[in-house]
Structure 1
Amino acid sequence: MNGFSDVRLQLLARELDAGQRPKVYSAPQGMGRIALMLHRWRTRKALLELSDEQLLDLGLTWEQAQREGRKPFWKG
């Protein structure tokens, strides 16, 4: 999966399981801690650069994209 799909799955899991921590991971298996943080930084930066049409294609609102994209890279 690419980073955008991972973000969408995380947001959907949060909406569906309000109050429960989603068990969706945002990076390929076997990635080290530094690589995971770099992956999060890159995908969140790219998420903030998407147009409204691209966000619509992903099924995300602007608010969801901003909330996820502005999270620090060290937070899952």
Structure 2
Amino acid sequence: MTGMSDVRLTLYQQELLEIPGTRVAARGSQESRWQQFWRRVRTRKQLLELSDEQLRDIGVSREQARLEAMRPFWRC
């Protein structure tokens, strides 16, 4: 996935989970938790680096991006 796709999934994860017929995959090994941790760190950092135009493209304000990026890594 690209950084933009990761950002969208991060920001709209709850909406995706509420779609009927979708399921969340069971969490695998400890390694997958590390991968998830690093993905969150990476995508939240990338979110802060997006320009105002890029944020507008994905429908996110600068304030929303800042709040999402500052969330603790253990929060989805």
With the shorter chain as reference, the TM-score category is 0.5 to 0.7
Spell out the pairing of 1:1-76 with structure 2 (5 A cutoff): 2-10=5-13, 13=15, 23=17, 32-76=32-76
TM-score by length of 1: 0.67
Asked if the contact 1:8/1:58 (under 8 Å) is kept, the reply is no
Instruction: After TM superposition, give the deviation of residue 5 of structure 1 in Å.
Output: 1.4
Gap regions ≥5 residues in structure 1: 14-21
Q: Which amino acid aligns with 2:72?
A: P
- The runs of 4+ residues in structure 1 deviating greater than 4 Å are none
Instruction: After TM superposition, give the deviation of residue 73 of structure 1 in Å.
Output: 1.5
CA distance in 1, matches of 2:63, 2:53: 14
Gap regions ≥5 residues in structure 2: 19-26
CA distance in 2, matches of 1:35, 1:54: 26
CA RMSD of aligned residues (A): 2.5
Asked if the contact 1:8/1:59 (under 8 Å) is kept, the reply is no
